[in-house]
Every structure is written in C-alpha cells, then in structure tokens.
Chains A and B, each alone.
Chain A
Amino acid sequence: MLVRFESHPAVFPLIDDMISFDREIDGLFGPTIAPVSVREGMFVPRMDVVEGKDDVVVTVELPGVRKEDVKIALEQDLLSISGERKGGAEPKDTQNVISERWSGKFSRSVRLPYEVQGSAVSAELADGLLTVVLPKAESAKPREIAVR
C-alpha cells in the first residue's frame, strides 16, 4: 500500500504569500495583468505571463491535456484558453487510494497589457505546458527616439 509521506501543509500558505507578494512588487514597476474571473465549476490552470521586447508569452500548465482538446481564442485584448482534460480509459477493478489531480473542463483568461497581432499568434503544447506567443502590434513596440 502506498502512503503519502509528509505533506507539510503549513508550507503552502507561505508560498502563496510569497507569490502574491511577488505580484505586488511586480505591479509597482510596470503594466499589471488582470486575471479574468472564470466560470464556475471549471479548473483554473496556473499561468505565467512574460513580456519580451517584441512579444508577450503566456504559459499555462496543462498536463495530460491533448493538443486537440485545447481551444485558444483572442478577442481584442482578451486571451482565453479552454478545453478539457479527458481521463484515459479507466481500467476495470481499480480503486482510488489517493485522488488529488484535477480532471474535466478547464478555462483561463487574461487581458493582455499590449495590443497584439492576432494573425501572428502561435501556440505549442509540450511536456504539459502550453506556450502562446503573441507578437506585439507595431504600435505597442518600444520605439527609439533619436535625439537631434
């Protein structure tokens, strides 16, 4: 029989605190990202948003999700990623001992801080991470102004 070792639940609130503190600090130095409220009953996967010089990269954790089960939509500045994690065919005669992983539908949306070129967006799903690269629109790119 498999027994969970030690989980130290007290550690998690600290990490959450650290992450939210990180976000507050990040917010002081530039554009902030507004997470959008989600529909009830859907899993909300974790997300990173990184700004490069020419693009905005959104990474979402989607372990065990197949490529064909992910939908990515961009409506003006609102990027929505949704879909479903379908469990494999459950073998018969199994009994769950530990059940912590999520399953079913997921949804995650974010309002982008920059205008992007909708037609040039690309996405890749590898090792359970979805990476969406959104090139900035020309108007959103930094411009160097020559001093005369």
Chain B
Amino acid sequence: MSQTNNALVKHNGESAPIPFEGPASLPPADVAEEKDGYILTMDMPGARREAISVTVVGGTLAVKAPLVRTHAAGARMLYREIPRGSYERIFTLGDGIDRESIDAQYENGVLTVRLRKSEAVKPKEITIR
C-alpha cells in the first residue's frame, strides 16, 4: 500500500502527500493526430467540470481531477470497483505544439483537449510555378 503511494507521488513529482481516499488512477486516453493538431480524449467519469485542472508546464500537459463520492449516512458498500481518490495523468508535449492555443472541454464524463501544431511543423503545400 505505502509502496503504491510512493510510486505515484514520485511519478507526479510532488513531495507532499495529498489527503485522499485512494491512490490516483490513470484515466484511459486516446490521442488522434489531425493535419493541424492533436485531439486528446480521456474517460474521466465522476469528475466535476469545475474541479478538473489542465495545466501546461514546460514540456508537459498535466490533467488532474479529484474524485469525491458521497453516500447517505449509514450507507454500506456492498461491491466496489470504481476508484476513489483522483485522476491524474501527465503527457509530454513535443516541440511542435502551440502552447498558447490549448482548448479543453468536459462533457458526459469525457475530457477532450485540443492541441494545435505550431506553424513551423504544419504540413505546407508548395505551389509549383
């Protein structure tokens, strides 16, 4: 148990333990490359839009969201598979991404982040004279 937590703390580069009910879980992601950019899609059911943070620091894009689940007083867990704690995932951004035009949207438990390629790496059509 403590080993698991250490690994995650190290992985996120944070030294202070955050109080939560369980270890952070990695949301599954899809990344599709388009001509002008990339679309990153992540399944994050149960996250609240206002609590999701998408941060670009240096060469990384970090997505974090706490998972708070409340049950009525006296409720008893009979079966449990859904993770508690938080969602956390960090992606490394290549040089060809325009850091200034990243757009994120959360709908129906799915986070969609749109990243644009910087002008320098976009494919260019050269007209033959």
Task: Give bound CA distance, A96 to B61, whole Å.
Answer: 19
**Cβ–Cβ contact B31 & A98, under 8 A:** yes
The answer to whether B78 touches A113 (Cβ under 8 A) is yes
Pairs across A and B, CB under 8 Å, 15 listed: A1-B96, A2-B31, A4-B91, A5-B89, A10-B7, A32-B79, A46-B81, A46-B82, A48-B80, A57-B75, A94-B33, A96-B31, A98-B29, A98-B30, A101-B43
- Does B54 reach chain A (CB closer than 8 Å)? no
> With A8-B11, A94-B33 as given contacts, are A53 and B1 in contact (CB-CB < 8 Å)?
no
Binding site for A on B (CB under 8 A): 1, 3-4, 7-8, 11, 23, 25-26, 28-35, 38-49, 60-61, 71-72, 74-83, 89-94, 96-97, 108-110, 115
Interface string of A40-54 (1 = CB under 8 A from B): 000000111111110
Q: Which of the residues A2, A31, A59 comes within 8 Å of B82, measured between beta carbons?
A: A59
Cβ contact of A100, chosen from B11, B28, B96, cutoff 8 A: B28
Bound Cα distance from A22 to B105, whole angstroms:
35
B38 to chain A, nearest CB (A): 6
A19 CA / B49 CA spacing, docked (Å) = 27
Contact assessment for B108 and A65 in the assembled complex, using a CB-CB cutoff below 8 Å: yes
What's the least CB distance linking A9 to chain B, in Å? 10
- What is the bound-complex CA distance between A53 and B78, given in angstroms? 13
In Å, the complex CA distance between A22 and B21 comes to 13
Chain B residues with CB below 8 A from A59, complex form: 82
The answer to whether B94 and A127 touch across the interface, beta carbons within 8 angstroms, is no
Contact check, A64 vs B108: say whether CB atoms are below 8 A apart: yes
Q: Please, which residues of chain B bring their CB within 8 A of the CB of A100?
A: 28-30
Known contacts: A63-B110, A94-B34, A128-B109. The answer to whether A110 contacts B79 by CB under 8 A is: yes
Say whether A2 contacts B115, CB under 8 Å: yes
When the two chains form the complex, which single residue of A8, A52, A61, A66 contacts B75, counting CB atoms closer than 8 Å?
A52
